[in-house]
Structure 1
Amino acid sequence: MNHNLHPVFRGLTTDEYQELTSHTRIHEKEFSKGTLIFQNADLVTETGIVLTGSVHIENTDFWGNTSLLSEVGAGGVFAETYSLSHEPMMVDVVAASDCQILFMDVTFLRDSSLSGYSWHQKMLSNMLSISIHKNLTLSHRIFCTSPKTIRERLLTYLSSQSQKCGSESFEIPFNRQQMADFLNLDRSALSKELGKMRDEGFLTFHKNSFTLLHPALNESH
């Protein structure tokens, strides 16, 4: 594995990476699509780094209703907050596709005796940057699920994806059920509203590909 390809190891020299591996346990594991990697209430000390494929961070309530909180793709990191805080997991981590995960025991970050090493400082900085980015991602989901109506949630989410991609045409990382879970919506209601928006000239779509349009008439919500 080329450690420089992954944000969690950004800035580490080959020697620093080797020093890191001598102070902690790092191992790789493959998972097939749908496999539960971590689950609610697990106590973990390892952070997961996605090498290939992607994973979903999900929350399931008492009645079995699942909400999709985020997707973590190749190069992304998951469970870093739980592994550092020693708090039990409050979410499930599920393989969204066949994936390869690098697991790293991060308890070394709390070891003050290692603070003099350059690699230790770089790893602390990288983990902080990753945590900040993850907080922004969760804030984005809150922003998308705050509107009361289905259309407002769709407009907020799709507009943000368009802006992120810098184009009126883009692909989202979710199928319809996952999109509904992410936006806290019923799948059939979401699909019905998408159909209305297409008919009214707001957008066109095919599967997870969307193109946003400007309707000729004033939109009526």
Structure 2
Amino acid sequence: MEKIISPLLRGLNEKELQDMMDIHFSRKQTYEKNAIIFSAGSIIHEIGIVLSGSVNIENNDLWGNKSILSNVPAGQVFAETYAFSHEPMMVDAVAAEDCTILFLDFNMLMDNPLENRTWQNKIIKNMLNVSMQKNLALSSRIFCTSSKTIRGRLLTYLSSQSMKAGSTTFDIPFNRQQLADYLNTDRSALSNELGKMRDDGLIEFYKNTFRLKAVPQALS
């Protein structure tokens, strides 16, 4: 089985990973960009791990308004809360680009003690850490959308991405429409504000690459 770098599978060896496949606890599937992996309203029993590409977690209301709640890059996990709770999904999991997903059967993990399967307890322990990281990511988005102004939201988001990258030059995982959806604002207004911020000497950008040129005194 190919080597997978994921916090959920930390500490597992190749033999354990292969055993997961052999007993049908895990399976792989590929998706094209914009394909629906899990849809709102579904009751699921599998956790998804992104092996390649990335996945967006989206909320779409009855009026057709879309909001991107998070981007799940390669190695990270999605849908674990719904797989655990067996509650209908309130969001869509959508392929942000061509991607390959490794699915783990959560029912098998939690409901059936697997004799001599050392990987079972490892995954359960890793799940706690993954859940904590997801809570931090959700808190980050709340911070990014709390400002009343588009500039405030952009500065908060770009500052967080800069700190995450450890550099004032960094790439973001969203195109302009996706960034507008993530920050819960209009794309045209967001693009206009980015232009103003560039003219004010705060940032430089080209497509998904940004550079912070000045540290703002306030984020609102």
TM, length-normalised to structure 1: 0.91
Partner-residue secondary structure (3-state), 1:5: coil
Unaligned runs of 5+ in 2: none
Unaligned runs of 5+ in 1: none
Alignment of 1:1-221 (within 5 A): 1-3=1-3, 5-21=5-21, 24-111=24-111, 113-114=113-114, 117-214=117-214
Q: Map Cα deviations across residues 106-159 of structure 1 (whole Å, 9 max, x no partner).
A: 112322634885322111011111111111111110110011111111110111
Preserved contact between residue 4 and residue 10 of structure 1 (Cα < 8 Å): no
Partner-residue secondary structure (3-state), 1:167: coil
1:214–1:124 distance in 2 versus 1, CA, 3 Å: same
Task: Give aligned pairs, total.
Answer: 220
Preserved contact between residue 31 and residue 98 of structure 1 (Cα < 8 Å): yes
1:45–1:218 distance in 2 versus 1, CA, 3 Å: closer
Q: Map Cα deviations across residues 5-56 of structure 1 (whole Å, 9 max, x no partner).
A: 3322211234443554455532111111111111000111111111111111
Partner-residue secondary structure (3-state), 1:174: coil
1:143–1:2 distance in 2 versus 1, CA, 3 Å: same
Measured in 2, the distance between the counterparts of 1:28 and 1:18 equals: 12
Measured in 1, the distance between the counterparts of 2:41 and 2:68 equals: 17
TM, length-normalised to structure 2: 0.91
Using the aligned pairs only, state the percent identity.
55
Give 1:172 deviation, angstroms. Answer: 0.8
Letter of the 1:97 counterpart: E
Measured in 2, the distance between the counterparts of 1:210 and 1:96 equals: 20
Preserved contact between residue 58 and residue 67 of structure 1 (Cα < 8 Å): yes
